[in-house]
Amino acid sequence: MTHLSHTPLTLDDIRAASEVLRGVADATPLVPSPYLEAQFGHPFWLKLENMQPIGAFKLRGALNAVANLPEGTAGVTCCSTGNHGRGVAYAAAERGIRAVVCMSELVPQAKVDGIRALGAEVRIIGRSQDDAQAESHRLVEEEGLAEISPFDDPFVIAGQGTIGLEMLEARPEIETLLVPLSGGGLAAGVALAAKALKPSIRVIGISMDRGAAMYESLRAGHPVEVEEYASLADSLGGGIGMQNRFSYSMCRDLLDDVVLVSEAEIYRAMQTLYYEDRMVAEGGCVVGIAALQAGKLTLTGPTATIITGRNLDMSVFTRIVSGQDVTLGDITVKGMPYGA
C-alpha cells in the first residue's frame, strides 16, 4: 500500500539531495542486461552503484547528511566498519570536516586501513561492537560530534532516494524495482522517489532469509531484534534499531512486498552476474536476481535492480566464481560450478 502523504520526507527533499550530490556521487550508469532480459522475459536494467568513489551507494546518504549538519558541528562519528563507514569518511573529507570511525579490536586490519585511507580517524576500542558504539556516543556527548545513522536519518534516506530519481528519470518505463533491503534507508528513499514520480510502480525489498530484521519487524508490526548470522550478503546484516524513527514506517508504507533468498540462491546469482554481465559485486547486490532465478517473484514488465556495492572479500569471491565451497561463520555454502 502506498501512503505518500504520511511519509516524513517528500520528493523535494530528494531533489534537494540531488543538488548536494551533483558531481560527487551522482549519475552512475543504468545499463541493460541482455542476459537477464532473455532469462526473465522483460527488459532488465542494473543501476551501477558499485561505480561510486567508495564502491557503494552509501556515499550518497553520507554526503547529504554531512551537508545538512547543524552550523558549528565539530565533526561526525559512526561505528560502521563497512560501506557506511567508508561513506562517512569520504563525505567528511570531501567537506573538510573531522570524521571518527569507532570499531572494536576484532575488526580485520584491511577494513581499518581502508577507512583510514579515506581520511577518517579510526578509534579502536574494546572487543565488541557495543564498546565501539559506546565510544561513538561519548564523542557525541563530550566532543560535540554528530553521529550519522546508516539508515535511520531523513537526510541519509533522501540521499539514497536520489538513486530512484535517477533511475525513473532515465527509464520511466520501469514497472518493478528490486531493492536490496537491510536497515531500509535505501529502500525507503528509492521507493519514495519512484512512487512520487510513478505511483503505479512496484517496489520490492529483498533480504537474505537468516536474520532479516526489516522483514521480521514488518511481520510483527513493530521493530524487533533478530539474531545475526554470517551471510554472503553481509552488507544486509544487522538490526533496524528498536527505536527506529523513519526507515521502518517508510518501508511499511511504501514497499509492495519483501522477499527472502537463501545463501545458495545468492551464491548462484553472484556467479550469474559475474559470468553474464562480467561484474564483481557483493552478495547483497544480487538478491533481486536471486529471487527471480528462484522463481520467488513474477515480473509484469520492465524491471531494474541496484548493484549496491563491490566491497567484498576477493578470496570469497574467487571461490564462488570457481564453484568452490564457502565457509562463513557457522555455515558452509556448498560449491557448484556455474551453469551446473
Ligand X SMILES: *Cc1c(COP(=O)(O)O)cnc(C)c1O
* Residue found by looking up cell 535492480 in the block: 305
Is residue 207 within 8 A of residue 234, CB to CB? The reply is no
Calpha distance 245→243 (Å, rounded): 6
Which residue's CB is nearer to ligand X, number 154 or number 185?
A: 185
Calpha distance 22→39 (Å, rounded): 35
Which residue's CB is nearer to ligand X, number 154 or number 284?
A: 284
Calpha distance 306→284 (Å, rounded): 10
Residue closest to ligand X when measured from CB atoms: 309
Residue 56 Rama label (left phi>0; alpha psi -120 to 50; beta) = beta
Nearest distance, CB of residue 218 and ligand X, angstroms:
13
Give exposure, 239-274, as e/b (b: 16+ Cβ within 10 Å): bbbeebebbbbbbbbbbeebbbbbbebbbbbbbbbb
Which residue's CB is nearer to ligand X, number 164 or number 184?
A: 184
Looking at the chain, how many residues does it have? 340
**Lookup: cell for 160:** 539514497
Which residue's CB is nearer to ligand X, number 184 or number 223?
A: 184
Phi, psi of 292 (to 5 degrees): -70, -45
Nearest distance, CB of residue 315 and ligand X, angstroms:
18
Calpha distance 70→56 (Å, rounded): 26
Q: Where does this chain bind ligand X (CB under 6 A)?
A: 56, 58, 83, 150-151, 180-187, 235-236, 282, 284, 308-309
Nearest distance, CB of residue 56 and ligand X, angstroms:
5
**Lookup: cell for 35:** 542476459
Cβ neighbours of 121 (radius 10 Å):
16
Nearest distance, CB of residue 339 and ligand X, angstroms:
26
Which residue's CB is nearer to ligand X, number 43 or number 185?
A: 185
Which residue's CB is nearer to ligand X, number 75 or number 283?
A: 283
Which residue's CB is nearer to ligand X, number 168 or number 181?
A: 181
Nearest distance, CB of residue 281 and ligand X, angstroms:
8
Nearest distance, CB of residue 319 and ligand X, angstroms:
19
Nearest distance, CB of residue 49 and ligand X, angstroms:
8
Is residue 246 within 8 A of residue 254, CB to CB? The reply is no
